[in-house]
A and B are shown apart, each in its own frame.
Chain A
Amino acid sequence: NAGVTQTPKFQVLKTGQSMTLQCAQDMNHEYMSWYRQDPGMGLRLIHYSVGAGITDQGEVPNGYNVSRSTTEDFPLRLLSAAPSQTSVYFCASSGSGFRKSSYNEQFFGPGTRLTVL
């Protein structure tokens, strides 16, 4: 099993451009989430989903959209990139399924490093 995968690993955007960060998991987990990691700020929750067709906002949702059409995929869309969105983005999943996460352990992807010029 690949676990949680993210693409791309690195991305450079210009201000105003849009793009989608991909996240997929093969563990049949119900719960998926997106975090951004910034120095001194820790990880902050952007959006999360408790199942296909269900999404909700986290702590810092502005400027980002998500959708969950399948259990496996949870893409994060930047509508109009801004320099403040320069960060490392992590996707995570948890739940029952093929690889049950005990005690609500979240499995993380390798991250996407995004720079907005």
Chain B
Amino acid sequence: AQRVTQPEKLLSVFKGAPVELKCNYSYSGSPELFWYVQYSRQRLQLLLRHISRESIKGFTADLNKGETSFHLKKPFAQEEDSAMYYCALKTNYGKLTFGQGTILTVHP
């Protein structure tokens, strides 16, 4: 069965510091992985997806099949990055399995 694990419920960093949000997955098929973000009082929205290998708002994430990981990274955190972040794995019919979420707080 598929599973997504985000080991950190809470992550606090100072502005300008590097940040890494961890995500590990378990899936027997070929994985499609996403990061979704939920800012305060806003709806969940897609941040980035592994297949497009893009950088959004300075965030990047690389799929490591050997370590079954898809960690989200940003070299210099900003206060506006404070939000809830979810890692998600796509399975059949577009279904998404989400991790438990990580609340990122960036202090000034």
Contact = CB atoms under 8 A, between A and B. Distances in A.
Contact of B95 (A33, A42, A105, A110): A33
B69 interface: no
Interface of A: 31, 33, 35, 40-45, 48, 50, 58, 90, 92, 94-95, 103-106, 108-111
A38 B51 CA distance: 28
Interface of chain A: mostly helix, strand, loop or mixed: strand
A55 B51 CA distance: 28
A90 B45 CA distance: 12
B43 A42 contact: no
Interface stretch (B11-19, B55-63, B71-79, B96-104): B96-104
Interface string B42-54: 0111100101100
B96 A106 contact: yes
Contacts of B32: 103-104
